[in-house]
């Protein structure tokens, strides 16, 4: 490797322990601790089927990520591999779709973090938001190792919290006279909201698990990318399924599912139901760590993806500048952070139009790039293709379930319209590039 090449390559300072916790931290977020209440109210006890199906989809997509990483070496993140396998236009659209999903998520998480801290910090709400985003940006600007260490501890807090909750829940079942059968089946049976209500809850559950792909991006900055990608994609979905299914099963056993309140953590409700001391304070800390973890990883992922896109010419060329000493795309980090701040500002300035539009697009966008991952794998590697077709079938079932619910039906329509606009923009951009290249010959 010559010195010029080394100056333009990302650092390789993340260790296997970082990659493992990043893979867990990227998907165990507020969607589990708070968003699960909405899924429970949508499906009742049959939400367990929703979690199982969603975990299966995440597992299959992770297998697809592993396969395309191992069969398209040297092509960067999965976005670049989609470009390599399916062509420049799908790569362009997938890159911008993924970036929009995550900068929107960053804006939402900034708002959530500020809301958690506002009762304890005597500063204006906007100042708290800027401070939170500023700290997370600074972490990502210093070095990739700093990002890895912070994410390691953020993720560890979440994993420990779930383990303690599961242990405590099992203990309560063993020592308390909990009416498990009545809690689970005494409020309308296992499927109180209809035989297919679990399908309606799948989008909510699946979106709460989104983020496992971040580990494959982070693995590119480790000393053994292929080995680390293979390891985390083989195990992370199974571990998540255990975390999600065990904790949600205990919640359903310990309290009536109908007691859940949309937007309120069912974990906290369960702990308060049994008068566990300091439950509110502890859950606030855990949920705050979850939102900060998502901010940390989201900034990392968006900066690396937009950096790769800039190198291909799919994003402004200025964003491909690499810090030669730290091996960091600092302009890409700053750009992603700035847009995330703008997104959070639209929640105040234009909550019913711009912010609502961005949030509404994320469901369809997540489905799109997951389908692109599977299609890239099927194009690159045919052995064991049944896994890819099973993933396509399940993802299609999720799209169908989104059509069944008015709210997600609207999100699907908005997301599809946005996809058409991005695709049109990509087609125009690539056409102009092709014409310019032809004129230069």
Per-residue DSSP letters for 199-240? HHHHHHHHHHTTTTTHHHHHGGGBS-HHHHHHHHHHHHHHHH
Question: For 187-199, what is the mean pLDDT?
Answer: 88
Q: Is the pLDDT of residue 233 over 80?
A: no
Supply the pLDDT for residue 11.
Answer: 62
Q: Which range in 9-13, 224-228, 246-250 is most confidently predicted, on average pLDDT? A: 246-250
Q: Please tell me the total count of domains within the chain.
A: 1
Supply the pLDDT for residue 249.
Answer: 94
pTM recorded for the entire structure: 0.89
Name the pLDDT band for 201 (thresholds 50, 70, 90).
confident
Asked whether the beta carbons of 241 and 59 are under 8 A apart, the reply is yes
Supply the pLDDT for residue 326.
Answer: 67
- Rg from Cα positions in the chain: 22
Q: What is the distance of C-alpha 208 from the center of its chain?
A: 7
Q: Is the pLDDT of residue 419 over 90?
A: yes
Supply the pLDDT for residue 75.
Answer: 64
Question: For 181-201, what is the mean pLDDT?
Answer: 88
Tracing tokens 């069912």 back to the chain, one arrives at 266
Q: Which of 74-78, 286-290, 319-323 has the lowest mean pLDDT?
A: 74-78
Q: What is the pLDDT of residues 303-339, one digit of tens each?
A: 999 999 999 889 999 998 887 776 788 999 999 999 9
CA distance linking residue 380 with residue 276, whole number of Å:
52
The rounded percent of the chain whose pLDDT value lies above 70 is 94
CA distance linking residue 132 with residue 207, whole number of Å:
24
Name the pLDDT band for 5 (thresholds 50, 70, 90).
very low
Q: What is the CATH number of the domain that holds 318?
A: 1.20.1740.10
Question: For 366-382, what is the mean pLDDT?
Answer: 92
Supply the pLDDT for residue 97.
Answer: 95
Q: Is the pLDDT of residue 148 over 70?
A: yes
Q: What range defines the domain where residue 162 resides?
A: 3-440
Q: What is the pLDDT of residues 19-43, one digit of tens each?
A: 878 877 767 777 888 888 989 998 9
Supply the pLDDT for residue 2.
Answer: 39
Segments in 118-265 forming alpha helices (H): 125-142, 144-175, 180-185, 197-208, 214-218, 225-254
Supply the pLDDT for residue 441.
Answer: 55
Measured from the Cβ of residue 74, the count of other Cβ atoms closer than 10 Å reads 8
Supply the pLDDT for residue 4.
Answer: 39
Q: Which element (helix H / strand E) includes 110?
A: helix 88-117
Q: Is the pLDDT of residue 3 over 50?
A: no
Name the pLDDT band for 132 (thresholds 50, 70, 90).
very high
* Per-chain mean pLDDT for the chain: 86
Name the pLDDT band for 208 (thresholds 50, 70, 90).
confident
CA distance linking residue 63 with residue 273, whole number of Å:
40
CA distance linking residue 100 with residue 362, whole number of Å:
8
Name the pLDDT band for 377 (thresholds 50, 70, 90).
very high
């Amino acid at each position: 490797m010559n010195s010029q090449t080394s100056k333009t390559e990302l650092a390789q300072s993340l260790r296997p322990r970082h990659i493992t916790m990043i893979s867990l931290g990227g998907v165990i977020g507020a969607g589990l601790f708070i968003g699960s209440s909405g899924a429970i109210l949508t499906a009742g006890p049959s939400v367990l089927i929703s979690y199982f199906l969603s975990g299966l989809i995440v597992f299959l997509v992770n297998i697809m990520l592993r396969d395309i990483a191992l069969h398209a070496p040297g092509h960067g993140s999965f976005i670049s591999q989609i470009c390599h396998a399916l062509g420049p236009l799908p790569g362009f659209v997938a890159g911008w779709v993924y970036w929009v999903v995550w900068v929107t998520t960053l804006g939402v998480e900034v708002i959530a973090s500020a809301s958690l801290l506002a009762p304890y910090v005597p500063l204006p709400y906007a100042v708290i938001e800027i401070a939170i985003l500023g700290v997370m940006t600074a972490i990502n600007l210093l070095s990739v190792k700093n990002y890895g260490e912070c994410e390691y501890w953020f993720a560890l807090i979440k994993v420990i919290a779930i383990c303690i909750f599961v242990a405590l829940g099992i203990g309560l079942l063993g020592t308390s006279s909990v009416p498990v059968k009545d809690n689970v089946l005494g409020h309308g049976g296992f499927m109180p909201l209809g035989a297919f209500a679990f399908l309606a809850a799948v989008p909510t559950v699946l979106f709460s698990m989104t983020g496992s792909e971040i580990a494959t991006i982070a693995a590119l900055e480790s000393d053994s990318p292929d080995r680390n990608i293979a390891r985390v994609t083989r195990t992370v979905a199974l571990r998540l399924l255990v975390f999600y299914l065990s904790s949600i099963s205990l919640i359903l056993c310990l309290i009536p599912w109908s007691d859940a309140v949309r937007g309120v953590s069912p974990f906290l409700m369960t702990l308060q139901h049994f008068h566990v001391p300091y439950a509110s304070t502890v859950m606030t800390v855990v949920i705050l760590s979850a939102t900060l973890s998502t901010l940390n990883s989201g900034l990392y992922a968006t900066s690396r993806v937009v950096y790769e896109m800039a190198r291909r010419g799919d994003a402004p060329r200025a964003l491909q500048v690499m810090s030669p000493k730290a091996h960091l795309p600092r302009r890409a980090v700053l750009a992603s952070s700035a847009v995330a701040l703008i997104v959070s500002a639209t929640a105040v300035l234009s909550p019913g139009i711009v912010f609502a539009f961005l949030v509404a697009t994320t469901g369809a966008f997540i489905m799109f790039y997951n389908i692109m991952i599977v299609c890239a794998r099927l194009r690159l590697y045919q052995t064991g293709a049944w896994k890819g077709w099973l993933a396509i079938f399940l993802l299609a079932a999720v799209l169908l379930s989104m059509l069944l619910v008015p709210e997600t039906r609207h999100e699907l329509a908005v997301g599809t319209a946005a996809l058409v606009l991005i695709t049109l923009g990509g087609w125009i951009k690539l056409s102009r590039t092709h014409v310019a290249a032809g004129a230069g010959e």
